[in-house]
Amino acid sequence: MGSPMKVGVVGVGVISQQYFDHLPSLDGLELTAVADLDVDRARSIGATQGVRGTSVDELLAADDVDVVLNLTIPAAHAEVATRALTAGKHVYGEKPLALSTEQAAPVLELANRAGLRVGSAPDTVLGTGIQTARAALDDGLIGTPVGASVAWSAAGHELWHPAPAFYYQPGGGPLLDMGPYYLTSLVTFFGPVVRVSGSGTRSTRERTIATGPNAGTPIPVDVDTHVVAILEHESGVVSTVTVSFEVWATRSPLFEVYGTAGTLGVPDPNRFSDTVSIADAETREWRDLPTSAGYADAGRGYGLADMAHAIATDRAHRAPGELAFHVLEIMEAVGTASREHVVVEVRSRPARPETVPLGARPDTW
């Protein structure tokens, strides 16, 4: 076992607690500091975690931080990542990688020049759910994949989130918020996307915060809240993706893959370990598949641990910035296709990450 990688967290909002819940169980990582624009909040959270809470500037300059876990709002992702890399630290961030590929490309270029790593959520795809589905596809359990269908929907995050305004600003919306889970899974299954078409819209209904101290506050909506996309993969598979903040109820299957010898029921990639199901061409009846790949009992932070392990063992990590860039380019292309009513070519071609073997740990080497 090598020395653990020392982690500094920037941004201690709602999502940070999910990371704090799992970091102590990952021996390859050691939380050393937390920071936030609200320094008092950082100090309070730091006290609960047994580490120091500080300003962003002080954390980035700290000698006891090897990697910055960037949990800021999407509009700050590129800036914080750039500052961390400039300070000589690796970066792992929440999705999306940045608000645009124009912002994201310099981040990856800087990391490459500096010999540093960039990783990005979602790491849910490294759990047993998506990895077992990938293994089933690679093993030919439904024959040759032909198409896939995703239909994720909700009525809106304002119904549960106490501070949801950023979900309705650039960098949010159902596509940039929820899309990365499904698009990362699709690229993991079938390889890069080469062409995109799609359309988006938004309703005129008024949205207000439903819970917390700001309940009743109106939310301005500056993004499309219902998006439909068609993706052409380099492998020949065609995927359809619908993501929406406009659906009160639905009976649409969440995620399915259709092959020449059956259908695969893919679990929610917003979760780590749900069950994979299959209906083969002979019986056409659903049955569950045993777990066959993925990090067991995983949670948020496993992608960071996988990156730390990859740095220590000099291999590629499984939630790389290049994959996140490709997903961002796909989402950007969907927006362009919708506005201009065209088919858009996607240029980036990330490598397909390695499968996570069943029983592997991301923090053992």
Predicted local distance difference test score (pLDDT) of residue 1: 53
Looking at the fold, whether 47 and 32 belong to one and the same domain comes out as yes
Looking at the fold, whether 183 and 150 belong to one and the same domain comes out as yes
Looking at the fold, whether 130 and 256 belong to one and the same domain comes out as yes
Looking at the fold, whether 202 and 225 belong to one and the same domain comes out as yes
DSSP single-letter state for residue 208: B
Which residues lie below 8 Å from residue 266, measured CB to CB, with a gap of 6+?
Answer: 129, 130, 133, 148, 185, 254, 255, 256, 257, 276
Predicted local distance difference test score (pLDDT) of residue 129: 98
- Secondary structure tally for the chain: helices H, strands E: 9, 15
Host domain of residue 114: 5-120
Specify the pairing of strand 5-10 against strand 29-35: parallel
Q: What SS3 class is residue 198? A: strand
Looking at the fold, whether 129 and 115 belong to one and the same domain comes out as no
Distance CA 245, CA 348 (A): 28
Domain tally, the chain:
2
Structure tokens at 193: 């996307």
pTM (two decimals): 0.95
Would you give per-residue pLDDT tens digits along the chain (365 residues)?
A: 578 999 999 999 999 999 999 999 999 999 999 999 999 999 999 999 999 999 999 999 999 999 999 999 999 999 999 999 999 999 999 999 999 999 999 999 999 999 999 999 999 999 999 999 999 999 999 999 999 999 999 999 999 999 999 899 988 899 999 999 999 999 999 999 999 999 999 999 999 999 999 999 999 999 999 999 999 999 999 999 999 999 999 999 999 999 999 999 999 999 999 999 999 999 999 999 999 999 999 999 999 999 999 999 999 999 999 999 999 999 999 999 999 999 999 999 999 999 999 999 997 74
CB 86 within 8 A of CB 110: yes
Looking at the fold, whether 114 and 245 belong to one and the same domain comes out as no
Predicted local distance difference test score (pLDDT) of residue 279: 98
Residue 10, Cβ neighbours under 10 Å: how many? 28
Query: What Cα–Cα distance (Å) separates residue 170 from each residue in 128, 207, 225?
Result: 32, 16, 11
Looking at the fold, whether 136 and 279 belong to one and the same domain comes out as yes
Instruction: Please check whether residue 196 lies inside any domain of the structure.
Output: yes
Looking at the fold, whether 92 and 232 belong to one and the same domain comes out as no
The answer to whether the Cα torsion of 268, 274, 280, 284 is positive or negative is negative
CB 217 within 8 A of CB 172: no
Instruction: Please check whether residue 76 lies inside any domain of the structure.
Output: yes
Looking at the fold, whether 133 and 145 belong to one and the same domain comes out as yes
Distance CA 161, CA 81 (A): 25
Burial 184-198 (b: 16+ CB within 10 A, else e): bbbbbbbbbbbbbbb
Distance CA 308, CA 295 (A): 15
